[in-house]
Amino acid sequence: MAERQKRARRSERVTRTGRRNAGTVGGGLPAIGLEAEFATVIDGVPQKPEDVFGSPRAIVRGPLVHRTGRSYHLPTGGALYFDTGVMEIATPMIEIARGCGARGTRSLWESLAFLRGELDAWEAETGREVRLVGFSAHYNVSFDVPREEAKHGRSVEQLAYLLTHLLAAPVMLLAANRRSTGVGVRPRGNRIEITADFTPDAALMAATATLIVGIVRAVMQWPSYELSELARHRIPVVRSFVPKKHSSRKGWVAKVDCFPENPFTSDVNAPKWTTASGGRLSLREMAGRTTRQFWSSISALGDPLSLQLIAAVMRGRAPSLLELPDRPAAYEDVGRLCRWDDLFPLTLLPRSRYERVLGHAVSGRRVHMYGSWHRPIGVRGWTHIVFRRERDGARRVMSLDEMLAHLDAWDRTSNRRISQRRVYHTARDIERRLVADRRAALGEVEHLRRRESDFASLDAELPPAKKGVEHPLEKRVAVERETPLPLTREGSPAKAQMTAKPAARKRRQRAAAPKAAEAPKEAKAKAPKAPKTKAPKALKAPKAPKAPKASKAAKASKAAKATKAARPPEVAKEPEALEPPKPARPRTRRPKRTDNEVNPNP
């Protein structure tokens, strides 16, 4: 990092009010935040962004939410501002939890991709060229140790000095390059800020953030922040190492002249560094031992991809940027030569609660709380949101921690009014009906297609019909149904109306179908098959001795006789059928239907 003097921003002069990049001391959730600084090169000439653009409003085409000073919130939730000759992007607060380092990296690179798109549009309008050159990256971790502990050697300043000795080797191996000038640690009241070179690889940046958060949160729990704690925890440190004062603000930095030789250009695998304990280790061995001492804390807060990359770099399975011949060319055009590849999709790593709250606020989505609708109209720093009550226009300032209780309601409403929700449900019902009708039509078409396919396959399986041979059974039955058979009726119509049962009809059986085809239908109607039943007993009494069928009648079952005796009395009027010359028509019993019977006229 090039040395330059930076004046303190107004927001940083009041860091003790707890409104900068982290939760307040002693209250709220512990959080992290990432920042990245870029030098601007306009038409091949380095220039200050405030001299060229004046304000971020000149770059971003859409509406912006003012944050403080000359900084504005981007639609991604991050902030963009010009800071002493560089263009700086900062992420929103992200509570410390598993995957927080990856979430911070994703938020930073999403804002960077958005900024690069707006600069491309500016180039198309003006005909000029803008390049973003990677400068530095800042990793902020909240310091939530009670202030009373400062009297016992646990102040934020002592922690920053201790971390300068501890983080130098592992951060160099993960984030530095051969042109780097140092790794710094700065106390910022309610947070600790670790500064290093910008890393043009998103995966390496996420790994660096994960390692820094895990180590800082673990060291923060130590009973003392004295340098003697390094030997007690067996942390390797170069014997002659003495950090320098930070050139820009308060803090310390591990620069090149703090070591016997330049650690950024030396071989990372050469055991040339004498430690305070007297051993000689390489830079990779010192970084690996430090990482192993805090691996439990790192793995508790890291995502699988970052943890694998940290282990691979520390063991030499993956190369470090210090092992390359020179600094990668991606530094010279960030956003084009190095892009965001969505390493951490939302399906695998959802956004943090603080991100969701600030995202709703920046988008201007209203929320229903305390019995009224409130719409966000601005933000104050990183930790407070200004609302306007729609009922009377009254203003209300809420912290991010207070808005966590209303986050679920905020997610559900998402700026939808009651009328909009009604229209939405109506549209959804219409859409569902259309989809159902479309599916029904497609189902009917598919059914017809399958039916035609079945008929085609059936015709293919059956052999071709020969001449003189009748059609298959299904087609023959269909033809027979079209031609009704003659019906037989007993007695006159008046008698048929008096009887409860309808007139018996002659039904053809499937077994007799081939023979019926040979004989004429008229003959079948005139010569019916002789029934096995006899005439009523009252009428056959005089002829019983002479009739040859008397023996057959005697052999009839008792159940049949009981059935005949139970018939209604009007059957006794049958003698009219015995008048000459017409012979008496015996009354036939309706035969029992079989499975092979075909009823052409049901």
- pLDDT tens string 535-581: 444 444 444 444 444 444 444 455 455 455 545 554 444 444 445 55
Lowest mean pLDDT, pick from 13-17, 101-105, 586-590: 13-17
Opening angle at CA 92, ends 88 and 97, nearest 5? 130
Tell me the pLDDT band of 592, cut-offs 50, 70 and 90: low
pLDDT at site 558: 53
The neighbour count for residue 510, using CB atoms within 10 Å, is 15
Long-range contacts formed by 502-506: CB under 8 A, 24+ apart: 504/588, 504/590, 505/601
Tell me the pLDDT band of 63, cut-offs 50, 70 and 90: confident
Which one has a higher pLDDT value, 535 or 585?
585
The token duo for 136 is 């530095």
Asked if pLDDT for residue 4 goes beyond 70, the answer is no
pLDDT at site 66: 84
pLDDT at site 344: 92
Asked if pLDDT for residue 488 goes beyond 70, the answer is no
- pLDDT averaged over every residue in the chain: 78
Task: Find the mean pLDDT for residues 242-257.
Answer: 88
pLDDT at site 523: 40
Asked if pLDDT for residue 52 goes beyond 70, the answer is yes
Q: Are 166 and 235 in contact (CB under 8 A)?
A: yes
Which one has a higher pLDDT value, 35 or 554?
35
For 364-439, CATH number out of 2.40.160, 2.40.10, 2.120.10, 2.30.30 equals 2.30.30
CA 265 to CA 325: how far, in whole Å?
Answer: 9
pLDDT at site 561: 52
Asked if pLDDT for residue 588 goes beyond 80, the answer is no
| Percent share of the chain, pLDDT over 90 | 54
- If you ran DSSP here, which 8-state letter would residue 138 be given? E
- If you ran DSSP here, which 8-state letter would residue 125 be given? H
Tell me the pLDDT band of 21, cut-offs 50, 70 and 90: very low
Report DSSP letters for 371-432, one per residue.
TEEEEEEEEETTTEEEEEETTT--EEEEEHHHHGGGHHHHHHHTT--HHHHHHHHHHHHHHH
What proportions of the chain, in percent to the nearest 5, are helix, strand and coil? 45, 15, 40
Asked if pLDDT for residue 473 goes beyond 70, the answer is no
Task: Find the mean pLDDT for residues 442-471.
Answer: 69
The amino acid occupying position 275 is: T
pLDDT at site 181: 87
pLDDT tens digits for 84-135? 889 999 999 999 999 999 999 999 999 999 999 999 999 999 999 999 999 9
pLDDT at site 477: 43
Opening angle at CA 226, ends 224 and 231, nearest 5? 100
Asked if pLDDT for residue 223 goes beyond 60, the answer is yes
pLDDT at site 5: 45
Q: Are 599 and 485 in contact (CB under 8 A)?
A: no
pLDDT at site 594: 53
pLDDT at site 153: 82
Asked if pLDDT for residue 171 goes beyond 80, the answer is yes
Structure-derived torsion over alpha carbons of residues 199, 205, 207, 213, reported in degrees to the nearest 10: 110
The residue ranges of every structural domain in the chain are 10-348, 364-439
Three-class SS state of 13 = helix
Q: How far, CA to CA in Å, does 507 sit from each of 218, 504, 512, 519, 587? A: 97, 9, 11, 16, 16
- Same fold flag, 10-348 and 364-439: no
CA 231 to CA 484: how far, in whole Å?
Answer: 111
pLDDT at site 449: 80
Whole-model pTM above 0.85?
Answer: no
pLDDT at site 573: 47
Rg (CA), the chain: 48
pLDDT tens digits for 503-536? 555 555 554 444 444 444 444 444 445 445 444 4
CA 307 to CA 324: how far, in whole Å?
Answer: 22
pLDDT at site 19: 36
Q: Are 73 and 379 in contact (CB under 8 A)?
A: yes
Q: How far, CA to CA in Å, does 241 sit from each of 141, 164, 192, 237, 294? A: 25, 10, 21, 7, 22
pLDDT at site 147: 82
Q: How far, CA to CA in Å, does 398 sit from each of 375, 377, 388? A: 12, 12, 11
Tell me the pLDDT band of 50, cut-offs 50, 70 and 90: very high
Q: Report how far Cα 124 is from the mean position of its chain's Cα atoms.
A: 36
Q: What are phi and psi of 377, to 5 degrees?
A: -125, -5
Asked if pLDDT for residue 20 goes beyond 50, the answer is no
Instruction: Provide the CATH topology of domain 10-348.
Output: Creatine Kinase; Chain A, domain 2 (3.30.590)
pLDDT tens digits for 355-377? 999 999 998 899 999 999 999 99
pLDDT at site 414: 59
Report DSSP letters for 489-546, one per residue.
--S-HHHHHHSSSPPP----BGGGHHHHHHS-HHHHHHSPPPPSPPPPHHHHTTTTTT
Task: Find the mean pLDDT for residues 65-72.
Answer: 83
